[in-house]
Amino acid sequence: MLSGTAKVVLTATAIAPAGLTYAYAAFMADKTCLAIGLLCGSVICTVLCLFLLGYARKHLERMKFTAIKVEAADHENMAILLLYLSPLFTANFNALKWPILILTLLIFALVIGTRYGYHFNPLLGLQGWHFYKVATPEGVTYVLITKKRLRDACGRLVVGQLTEYIVLDLE
């Protein structure tokens, strides 16, 4: 299990779209260096996450996993999408309250990284990854990260455990 590392990398990738939005806003305000830095940070987070998933698929212990219920988990975070777009709601990039925005992003990352919540990663979705809530016969619900499109309770899977409640499809 890559618990701590996986949580940090998944959380960093979850907030990377906010970095892309801020990079766009900075570029439009002629803050090119800041825009490039934010863009690079977002890209690095995404590449690290993809590397982590690739590493995990090769090195995590393989275990049988029985799913009795499957539910798409990609659709439930509209509030997070609003956070990503918040810099665009100001008429002037220089009017952004940077200390408050940075604190908001840090609190957001802390909340996601320290609870058993679901890590929304639209950038991973663009790479073909899907997120599902899957329930086991024991009544435990996990988030399954997979490249497959699941349409129903698929029975047995081969997974690796990334964190306490996040599993990665290894097939």
Return per-residue pLDDT of the chain as tens, 171 residues: 566 777 778 877 877 887 888 888 888 888 899 889 989 998 998 899 889 888 888 988 999 988 888 887 766 555 566 666 666 666 566 666 667 667 776 776 677 666 655 556 777 777 888 888 888 888 888 888 888 887 766 667 888 988 888 889 998
Q: Hey, what are 137's tokens?
A: 């016969």
Tell me, what's the pLDDT at 122? Answer: 74
Instruction: Give the HSE-up count for residue 23: Cα atoms under 13 Å, Cβ half-sphere.
Output: 16
CA–CA separation, 157 vs 12, rounded Å? 27
Q: For residue 65, what are the CA distances in angstroms to 118, 122, 128, 132, 137?
A: 19, 25, 22, 14, 10
CA–CA separation, 157 vs 123, rounded Å? 24
pTM: 0.74
Which residues, in sequence order, are bridge partners of residue 144?
Answer: 132, 167
- Which alpha helices (H) appear in the chain, and where do they start and end? 3-28, 32-59, 78-85, 98-114, 122-126
Length of the chain (residues): 171
Q: Look at residues 67, 78, 59 and name the one whose alpha carbon lies nearest to residue 157.
A: 67
* Cβ-based neighbour number of residue 163 at 10 Å: 19
Phi, then psi, of 141 in degrees rounded to 5: -105, 130
Tell me, what's the pLDDT at 163? Answer: 82
Tell me, what's the pLDDT at 131? Answer: 86
